[in-house]
Structure 1
C-alpha cells in the first residue's frame, strides 16, 4: 500500500464502509464539480465514480476565491441512504445532501442554519442520530486565538433537520490550560460500550494532529486520552529524508481483515514547509491500546509503504492514484470525472470529439478574477512531474492567449501560451501571476514562425524549480525559460488550502472574441524519487 493513496490535492478525507465496499470523499473548495466520490474494495485501488456537487443548480462558487467554497465533507450511510454533510464557507454555511447511489445523482442541499460552524459529521446510534461539528467558543468569548469547541445536535435523518439545542462536547481541545487551537474535523464512533470522539487539533499545517476522547454516552462527558495526540508529525527532525508533515483530520474504518485503519491528510514538502501538491490522502494502520485507538503505532514517521494482510482487489479501467504514473488523454471520450472547472460548470464554451480533441472558445474572463474562465484542470500529483499539451491556435489580437497554466490560485500561477504581438507575429509567452486581478508579469517571449499553427507546450516541475518548453515546427523541444521559482506555487507562499493544478486555459483578457483554441491532447507524467527503487 503506497502513500499517499490519493496523490495531489485531495484533502480532508472522509470514508465509509458499506458491506465490502469503501467510499471516500474530499474537499474541493471553489473548484467544480465539488466533492469527488471514490470507490475501493481494498483501500488501495481507488476509482472516482462521481461528484456530489455536479449541477450548478445545487450551488456554485462564483465570486469566491479558489480557496473558499466547500470545506471538509463527511460521508455516512444509514438504512439504504448515503449522506454528505459539508460547509459552504462565507455563504449559507452547513448542509446535508443524500443519494441512494454514491455515484449520484445527489440531492439538492438541505441547509442547516442552526449548525453554526464548520466540518459537520453525522453519527447514527441505533434509533438516534447526531450531527457533530466545530463551533465558536462558549458564549462567543474565546479565551485565546484559535479557541473553538466541538458541539453536537440531535439530528432527524428523515427530515434532515436538527432537534433541540446544541451541546458542547469539547471546549478548546485536550487540555484548555495549554491553549489548544482549532479543534475541528470531528467524528464519533462506537466500539463496544465506548463512544469515541476524535478530531484534529493544532491547525492544518506543521502543528496538525489527531486527538481522541471517549465517553459512555454519545453526548458526553468526554474524557481525553492521556497519551494524546494519537497521530502527529510535529517534533520530528526537520532534516529527515523525504518528510511527511502536517498529518491530521483522520477518520477510522474497518478493513477487509477486520482491523482498524485511518485515512487522514498530510503533505510532502520538498523543502521546509514548501509543497505545491496540496494536502493529500494517506492511510495508516490503527492499534487498540487499553481500549484507545493509536494511529501508526509502530513508527514515529508516517511510512510511504505499508504491508497489509488482505488481498488486493483491482478494479477495471481504474487510473492510478498513488506512486509513479503517467497518462494521456486525447478527449475522444469527453472529460473524465477528475477534470476541474472554476466555480461552476457551463458546457456552452467547449466541446470534445475524437477528431479534434478539446475545442475551447476564448472567454473574456481571466484566471485572475473570481468568475468562470475557459479553464479545465487536472491536479499536480507529484513533486517531480511534467504536463504537456498539443495546441492548435491562431490569435487575432494580442489580448487572445491560449495555453497551459501551472495554477495555485488567482495570484499565484505561471502561464505558457501562444499569442501575437501588435504586428500580428505569433509568439510563445510566459507570464507570472501577481497580486492583481487585471495584469500579470511577462517573464519571457519568443517569436514563432508565421506559419506555425500547432505548438506543443510543456511544464516541467521539480520541487522548487519549474521549467517551460515549446516545440519548433519540426517538433523539437526548445526551452523557453528554465528553473523558474516554483515556491510561488506553494501553499506556504500563497496561503489557503488548495494544491496546484495544470489547466488548459484560453482567454481574450477582458475583450470580446469568437475565436477558439484546440487542445489535441493533455499528457501527464509523475516520477517522485521516493518511489524510484
Structure 2
C-alpha cells in the first residue's frame, strides 16, 4: 500500500482553506524543520516549503540527540492566518508560529513557557478562546498572539483504560459536539486512534463505544503502527483522516526503514461517531529526480543534520555545484556537514558525481550517528564504511583515478527466506564507467527496529574532511 506522502513524514496535521489543503509533519533533528505540503485532492501532495527555515526560528545544537528536536506540529487556519504549534524537545519547548502564506515566510517563534507537554494542539471556540491540548492529556487556555497561559491546566479524557502513551490530541467542533481525537498504545505495533466527545471543549468527554476507531495491531495488514491522526472536511462535505503508518519488510519482527509515513482514509459518521474506511492508495511510485545544483540555494526537500550554514553548505561558491566544507569528523559526528533527501521508496537508486580534490566525502544512507552506511571518496580511493551501533568498519575499498567519480547506492527489497531475513539490501559501488559493486549490506541495521528512535532513512551527500563538491545528485525509484 503506497502512502500519500512517502518517506519520513510522520505526525501529519492537515487543514483546508477553500479548495486547498495544507499539511505539516515532524522533522526531529533535521534542518530546515517542519515540511509543508499543498494538495487539492488529499492524494497528490507537493512540498511548498519548510516552516522553520531560519536559525532564529529553530535552534538545534550538537547536543540535540537524534530523534529529538521538532515533534508533532499542529497546523490550523483561523481568522485569516495560518497557525503552527510545535514542540522542540530538548531546546526550547513549545512555540507558535504564524504566516499569511503557508509556503512562508513564517514568523519567529512565540514561546509558550507555561505549556508543558508534547504534541500541542490548537482549537478556538465560538467565544474566541484558544485551547491548547497536549499529550497526557491536558488542556490550557492561551493567548496565541503572546504565548500567555491562563490558569492551571485541566486534565481531560486520556484514552482507553490501560492503554499506554495517550498523545497526539486534536480537538474539533463538529456539529453539536466537541470531539477529542487522540493516539494511544505507543508508536510501535500497538499504535491506535481513539475518540471521545463532549458538549464543551473542556469536557467531560464520553468515549466512543467502538474505540479504537483505527488500528492495525494484531493484523496482517501491510501497513502497521497506524496512529497519530488528524481530521479534515472536504468542500463536498465528506470527511477524511490523515495518519502515520509504517511499511515493515523482511522476516520477524519486520523492519521498517523509511520511517513513519503519511496515509489517508475516508471517514463516515455513524450515530455521531467517526468510522474510518480503507486506506486510499497514494500516487504511483515511479519517479526520477535529478538536481544539477544550478539554483541559488537548495530545494525545500533537502535537509541537513541540525543546522545548515552557507559557510559549510552552498551552491554559490562554485556555480552548478554543491560545495560542502567539513566540520567534525564525518557521519559519526553530530556536527557532520550533510545534505540529504528522505528515502521515499522501498526500491531505489541514488547517484552523485563527487569531486574530492582537497577533501573526502561522498554518498551516505543515514538513520542516526550510530547507524549509517556510506561510500566515501578520497584522493585515489573509494571505500565503503558501515557503522552499526558501537561497531565501525571499512568493509570494502578500491583505487580510482584522480578526478570526479560517480558514487552509487542501490536499495532492493528482499523476499524473506527465513524468519531473520532483513527488509532489503543496500549495494554500494562506483561507475568507472560501468557500475562496479564494492559491497552489499543488510538493510535491517538501518531500521527503527534495530536503531530505535522515530526517524527513517535519509540518503545524501556529506563532507568528512576538507572541501567536497558535487556536480549533481540523482534519485530514481523503482517501486
The alignment status of 1:285 with 2:248, answered yes or no, reads no
The residue that corresponds to 1:441 in the other structure is 393
Contact 2:263 2:280 in 1 (8 A): no
The residue that corresponds to 1:524 in the other structure is 475
State the shift of 1:361 in Å.
Answer: 2.4
- Deviation track 1:423-469 (CA, whole Å, cap 9, x = no partner) reads xxx11100011435xx83111111123xx312111111113211111
Is the partner of 1:393 in helix, strand or coil?
Answer: strand
Equivalent runs, 1:31-430 vs 2, <5 Å = 31-62=30-61, 63-126=63-126, 127-134=128-135, 149-171=136-158, 173-174=159-160, 176=161, 179-237=162-220, 243-271=222-250, 272-296=253-277, 299=278, 302=279, 304=281, 323-334=285-296, 335-352=298-315, 356-371=320-335, 373-395=336-358, 400-420=359-379, 426-430=380-384
Equivalent runs, 1:464-483 vs 2, <5 Å = 464-472=424-432, 475-482=433-440
Once structures 1 and 2 are overlaid, which stretch shifts more, 184-193 or 50-59? 50-59
Contact 1:356 1:518 in 2 (8 A): no
Following the alignment from structure 2 to structure 1, what is the Cα–Cα distance between the partners of residues 249 and 309?
36
TM-score, normalising length from structure 2? Answer: 0.93
State the shift of 1:488 in Å.
Answer: 1.0
More strand by share: 2
TM-score, normalising length from structure 1? Answer: 0.84
- Deviation track 1:366-400 (CA, whole Å, cap 9, x = no partner) reads 322222x22100010011111110112235xxxx4
Partner residue of 1:432 out of 381, 386, 391: 386
Following the alignment from structure 1 to structure 2, what is the Cα–Cα distance between the partners of residues 413 and 183?
32
State the shift of 1:303 in Å.
Answer: 5.0
Larger Rg: 1
Could you list the runs of 5+ residues in structure 1 that have no partner in the other structure? 135-148, 306-320, 421-425, 529-533
Aligned residue pairs: how many? Answer: 463
Following the alignment from structure 2 to structure 1, what is the Cα–Cα distance between the partners of residues 195 and 261?
22
- Deviation track 1:303-358 (CA, whole Å, cap 9, x = no partner) reads 536xxxxxxxxxxxxxxx76221211111124101100111120112332695421
Moved over 4 A (4+): none
Contact 2:29 2:64 in 1 (8 A): yes
The residue that corresponds to 2:421 in the other structure is none
The residue that corresponds to 1:145 in the other structure is none
Report the RMSD for the aligned CA atoms in angstroms: 1.7
Following the alignment from structure 2 to structure 1, what is the Cα–Cα distance between the partners of residues 353 and 287?
20
Following the alignment from structure 1 to structure 2, what is the Cα–Cα distance between the partners of residues 23 and 365?
39
The residue that corresponds to 1:314 in the other structure is none
State the shift of 1:199 in Å.
Answer: 0.5
Is the partner of 1:492 in helix, strand or coil?
Answer: helix
Is the partner of 1:487 in helix, strand or coil?
Answer: helix
Is the partner of 1:221 in helix, strand or coil?
Answer: coil
